[in-house]
């Protein structure tokens, strides 16, 4: 398993728990050391116990470099760089590091979210250096589609699309995933599987963009967007998602750009959805600023603003690409008096956090950015100004 992050480590542990010997490879020595002690470096329910067990049973071992294996899985990050261009350097370097260890009959599976055509590029890279393996190597793309916080369950139970560079590769990969997946394994080709992954997240981004646009329209029309959506969703064929502070995380806010960068002329809607969701975050900031200015002119002093939630979605501690964090930091940088609240982060983390109950007592303006469970039914002074961007007051 190349890469021991949010996807690689749970997958490696799950495979090992089925009795297969797994070498987990990561370029970070600290990660390798932690795992070999039977411990973990990420937050994910039930993962610690599973890793502890498979390491103790000598089924999972972590290492800095790969060894010769029957099956290779690549689950390394594919961020974007500069002008939303996909950065394939981690995938390329993982492939390069396995090339010298490959033997005839090996199966290589790419799981990292990747632009269409990446599996073919990987094939080219391998055969340039090891031409004798042509016809004797199986290659496939198989994206993960798990939700952080529920990874171990979803890894096992979700259906998967599996696309080889040829039919034999597809079948070999399906036979491999049967060891640990009970969901249906759907055969396809590599290109289609690559596109499926990107489209899943672009589709969700597009649907959230629609909800976010509705929230801005309803704000102007003085209609409660949450009530309106709940009623619209009573229609049997309508299912509108939730508006929010914007779209965060390392998947939905990133993957649609992989389509746009490769097919710029054909993807105006996908691009527009990304822009609409980014715009929603800026709109939230403007709303808070206007509220603060009104407070100042009424009370002749600056307001204290409680920013409720920093994570990229409810009930997690993950701050990656978080719109709530962006809103809070933007206000701080503009010298507003801000109390940052994130009940999922400990005090020891190097951030100046305020307890959520203390924050709502002290603040003049309470801004709900993330619908964490702690904020539902939280008692607040009805005379205070409350801005709810995530619908927590409706929950
Ligand atoms: N969000 C809204 N409104 C909604 C739903 C979500 O504003 O109605 C926001 C969230 O607050 C968050 C962002 O969207 O900021 C993304 O959250 P999410 O829960 O929709 O998804 P992720 O990023 O945690 O995981 C997604 C999942 N993809 C889909 O649901 C299509 C997951 O299954 C993928 O495996 C993951 O991306 C990935 O790794 O690609």
Q: Which atom of ligand 1 is nearest to the CA of 323?
A: 15
For a pocket test of ligand 1, which of 80, 147, 277, 372 has the largest count of ligand atoms closer than 8 A to its C-beta?
147
Given this model, what pLDDT does residue 82 score?
A: 80
Q: Which atom of ligand 1 is nearest to the CA of 208?
A: 3
Given this model, what pLDDT does residue 349 score?
A: 62
Given this model, what pLDDT does residue 347 score?
A: 67
In 3D space, the residue among 346, 242, 353, 250 whose CA is nearest the CA of residue 307 turns out to be 353
Which residue owns the Cα nearest ligand 1 atom 35? 145
User: What is the distance in A from the centroid of ligand 1 to the CA of 147?
Assistant: 8
Which residue owns the Cα nearest ligand 1 atom 9? 247
- Enumerate residues lining ligand 1, CB below 6 A: 113, 144-148, 200-201, 204, 208, 241-242, 244, 247-249, 251-252, 312-313
* Distance between first and last Cα of the chain: 41
Given this model, what pLDDT does residue 212 score?
A: 98
Domains 8-198 and 225-388 fall in the same CATH topology: yes
CATH code given to domain 225-388: 3.40.50.720
Does the domain formed by 8-198 have CATH 3.40.50.720?
Answer: yes
User: What is the distance in A from the centroid of ligand 1 to the CA of 150?
Assistant: 13
What is the residue extent of each domain of the chain?
8-198, 225-388
Active site residues: 197, 251
In 3D space, the residue among 4, 125, 151 whose CA is nearest the CA of residue 76 turns out to be 4
Walking along the chain (395 residues) 10 residues at a time, the average pLDDT comes out as 96 98 98 97 91 98 98 95 89 98 98 97 98 97 92 97 98 98 98 98 98 98 97 98 96 94 97 98 98 97 98 90 97 97 80 95 98 94 95 90
3-state secondary structure 111-154: CCCCCCCHHHHHHHHHHHHCHHHCCCCEEEECCCCCCCCCHHHH
Residue whose entry in the numeric block shows the structure tokens 């002749």:
300
Given this model, what pLDDT does residue 351 score?
A: 82
Residues in the chain, how many?
395
């Amino acid at each position: 398993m190349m890469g021991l992050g949010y996807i690689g480590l749970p997958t490696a542990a799950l495979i090992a728990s089925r009795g297969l010997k797994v070498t987990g490879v990561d370029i970070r020595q600290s990660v390798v050391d932690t795992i070999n002690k039977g411990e973990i470096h990420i937050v994910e329910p039930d993962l610690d116990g599973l890793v502890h067990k498979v390491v103790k049973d000598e089924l999972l071992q972590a290492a800095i470099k790969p060894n010769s294996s029957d099956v290779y899985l690549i689950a390394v990050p594919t961020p974007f760089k500069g002008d939303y261009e996909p950065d394939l350097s981690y995938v390329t370097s993982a492939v390069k590091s396995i090339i010298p260890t490959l033997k005839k009959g090996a199966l290589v599976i790419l799981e990292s979210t990747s632009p269409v055509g990446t599996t073919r590029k990987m094939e080219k890279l391998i055969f340039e250096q090891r031409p004798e393996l042509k016809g004797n190597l199986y290659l496939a793309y198989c994206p993960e589609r798990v939700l952080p916080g529920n990874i171990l369950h979803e890894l096992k139970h979700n259906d998967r699309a599996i696309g080889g560079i040829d039919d034999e590769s597809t079948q070999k990969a399906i036979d491999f995933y049967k060891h640990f997946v009970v969901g249906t394994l759907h055969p396809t080709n590599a290109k289609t599987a690559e596109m499926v992954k990107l489209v899943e997240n672009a589709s969700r981004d597009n649907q959230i963009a629609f909800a976010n646009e509705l929230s801005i329209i309803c704000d102007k029309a003085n209609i409660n967007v949450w009530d309106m959506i709940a009623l619209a969703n009573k229609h049997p064929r309508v299912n509108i998602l939730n508006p929010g502070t914007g779209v965060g995380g390392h998947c939905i806010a990133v993957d649609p750009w992989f389509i746009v960068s490769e097919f710029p002329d054909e993807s105006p809607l996908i691009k527009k959805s990304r822009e609409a969701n980014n715009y929603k975050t800026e709109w939230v900031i403007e709303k808070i600023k206007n509220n603060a200015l009104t407070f100042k002119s009424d009370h002749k002093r600056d307001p204290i603003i409680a920013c409720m939630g920093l994570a990229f979605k409810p009930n997690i501690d993950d701050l990656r690409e978080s719109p709530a964090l962006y809103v809070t930091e933007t206000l701080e940088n503009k010298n507003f008096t801000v109390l940052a609240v994130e009940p999922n982060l400990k005090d020891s983390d190097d951030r100046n956090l305020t307890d959520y109950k203390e924050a709502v007592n002290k603040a003049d303006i309470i801004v709900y950015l993330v619908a964490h469970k702690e904020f539902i039914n939280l008692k607040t002074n009805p005379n205070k100004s409350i801005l709810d961007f995530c619908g927590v007051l409706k929950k």
